[in-house]
Structure 1
């Protein structure tokens, strides 16, 4: 009897063992991205909250969990620090003694200068500060999803001591997670996010406080007010820590904002000037990448590992076509020497399930997201 040919080999991942330290919304989303896009062979979730770890494992966000730092960290070639701002530096101090000297380390904090200095003081050589510009007012691992990072700007803020090889590797990771890396100094980042992230939070607080002091206003608050104050629904403690950590840059942003409000107040007596300001505001707002992205329909994706051999993509599409599974979109996510992965956009959750069964039977490794 002739033996059947072996199935396609799974390509080597970017990382053998990844640790996500802090398995919340962003940390969980990074973990899911690593797993769904086949970028790490194994993903460990670390968190001091045992209930969070149980939820993360039950949801399939991570492969295994740890509640205390230890020797297990030495096997990790990627470590992502994903704790809230106030906990980020203590987390780094707890983990640093156990890190492999060759481990690639990054973080997802929204303020960069402080954590960059902290990791340098700890002697963590391969640290690349980072900040994915993505999030939601709904926190926690239960709301984590790999799609949260797709098309998001992910700022990398190397210091003078950041090895270029480490920066290149984190940049590659960010691209493979579907985000767009942007490189700038830590201080420049902190000044910019003070305006586009931390200032809107304080503005939303101010608006909600106006409503809180007059119950008649709450009866009239409609969609526009809801959209302007959405970020006030975030975790109060985490948001407080974020803006306090960046208070110097935020004070500068507040001063500029006051001047803009004063200019608009003066324009109330000059209708043409106010119209020009409104037109400029509309043009600017409509051109924002995040606004355009929000118009995209939800996707039902399947990520398939493919070896770097001829006709592998053809084998995938032919197998699904023969079974009547309609592929609406296809994207090459990553091709490394050993192979890579492709994303298939399908019509429904059921198509994701059927395609998974078909391709698993053909020997392909797949990860689905309905």
Structure 2
């Protein structure tokens, strides 16, 4: 790939342009907002000048409702040899492209699963997509050359390609992205009802839960509306859980002892299912599946009790949470070793931190997390 055009110089578009330019690709910036183009160009994302010939690929970085007409307009102008987009909904834009008569042989849907709370070209980063999933949704008409160009784009941005059908993609993002954003917004909206001295008590947990609620409301309205069927089905099931939880709390507050016991069981079940669901989230990096962790063997000599406290202090100083700790049988590991079970993405930094503090750490192996059935968690 030698040339590209990025249509839309917001956070995602400018980040893509920065990544491509950094890899030596001549990148042309296109946006109806001249200020946005000027800022992106000043950041080194590319040139504001239009290409003199069709570029290798055009990346359409506009809201879902604008994808089809943007693709149609630039195909008519022969901007590129291949086209892709970054919208977080795929079925509706594809159907609209068909309705507008777009050339779908030169089109492949795309969605990089990365972002930040801030929008626009200023917070853009060339490494925004590094090691992140980037979904591509080729249609039956998509040519092999077009798909290969899109795959090269993903590689140049440092992302990991995933191929899905548009409906499967939309169901996936409704579950892992759109519903969480909506719940974060609904939770954050409750803060408008709290007095200032109450809100000041907010800690890290609330910040984590509401972080993504800071996104652009207009853009997210477009996204949620475009994925209404998949998101609506999830909300129906979530509503049933909310009603069940509210009913349980009412029975705990006002019910008989027998009703309270049953209500406590219902509430515990809701929280247990949440804990099990959280355990299914795969670490952002690495190749293991959901629910996997890494086992590290650390030599503590022949005096477990003497050195264990110092080891745990060093683990804590490395800001890593242990999933479990065990004292293996001497026949399995060298005498005087303990086995630390940590989340897979924490293994490398913990190993480095412990070795800096003088500990002998053996290479890691993946192990199911405690409570995870063989073969991964239940679906």
- What interval of TM-score do these two structures reach, taking the shorter chain for normalisation? 0.5 to 0.7
Structure 1 counterpart of 2:149 = 169
1:192 to 2:172 alignment: yes
Return the structure number with greater relative CO, CA threshold 8 A, min gap 6: 1
Say if 1:296 and 1:226 are closer, same or farther in 2 by CA, change over 3 A: farther
Question: Normalized against structure 2, the TM-score is what?
Answer: 0.66
Structure 1 counterpart of 2:186 = 206
1:86 to 2:81 alignment: no
Deviation at 1:244, TM superposition (A): 0.8
Q: Quick check: 1:22–1:81 contact (8 Å CA) kept in 2? A: yes
Q: Quick check: 2:68–2:94 contact (8 Å CA) kept in 1? A: no
Larger radius of gyration: 2
Q: Quick check: 1:268–1:274 contact (8 Å CA) kept in 2? A: no
Instruction: Give the secondary-structure state (helix, strand or coil) at the position aligned to 2:70.
Output: helix
The 2-side partners of 1:278 and 1:201 are apart by 17
Give the alignment's Cα RMSD to 1 decimal: 2.7
Structure 2 counterpart of 1:104 = 82
The 1-side partners of 2:145 and 2:96 are apart by 20
Deviation at 1:21, TM superposition (A): 0.4
Deviation at 1:164, TM superposition (A): 2.7
Deviations 1:18-67 (A, max 9, x none): 110001111111111111123x2x1100000011111111111113345x
Instruction: Give the secondary-structure state (helix, strand or coil) at the position aligned to 2:105.
Output: coil
The 2-side partners of 1:187 and 1:229 are apart by 28
The 1-side partners of 2:96 and 2:220 are apart by 21
Deviation at 1:262, TM superposition (A): 5.1
Instruction: Give the secondary-structure state (helix, strand or coil) at the position aligned to 1:143.
Output: coil
The 2-side partners of 1:51 and 1:170 are apart by 28
1:257 to 2:238 alignment: yes
Instruction: Give the secondary-structure state (helix, strand or coil) at the position aligned to 1:99.
Output: coil
Instruction: Give the secondary-structure state (helix, strand or coil) at the position aligned to 2:140.
Output: coil
The 1-side partners of 2:52 and 2:173 are apart by 32
1:269 to 2:250 alignment: no
The 1-side partners of 2:157 and 2:193 are apart by 44
- Name whichever of 239-248 and 274-283 sits farther off: 274-283
Structure 2: give runs of 5+ residues left out of the alignment. 249-261, 286-342, 350-379
Instruction: Give the secondary-structure state (helix, strand or coil) at the position aligned to 2:128.
Output: helix
Q: Quick check: 1:96–1:124 contact (8 Å CA) kept in 2? A: no
| Structure 2 residue corresponding to 1:182, chosen from 162, 184, 201 | 162
Structure 1 counterpart of 2:44 = 60
Structure 1: give runs of 5+ residues left out of the alignment. 1-13, 67-71, 298-370
Aligned residues: 274
Deviation at 1:76, TM superposition (A): 1.4
| Structure 2 residue corresponding to 1:44, chosen from 28, 52, 60 | 28
Structure 2 counterpart of 1:234 = 215
The 2-side partners of 1:175 and 1:146 are apart by 13
- Name whichever of 152-161 and 109-118 sits farther off: 109-118
The 2-side partners of 1:29 and 1:19 are apart by 13
The 1-side partners of 2:53 and 2:96 are apart by 20
Structure 1 counterpart of 2:124 = 144
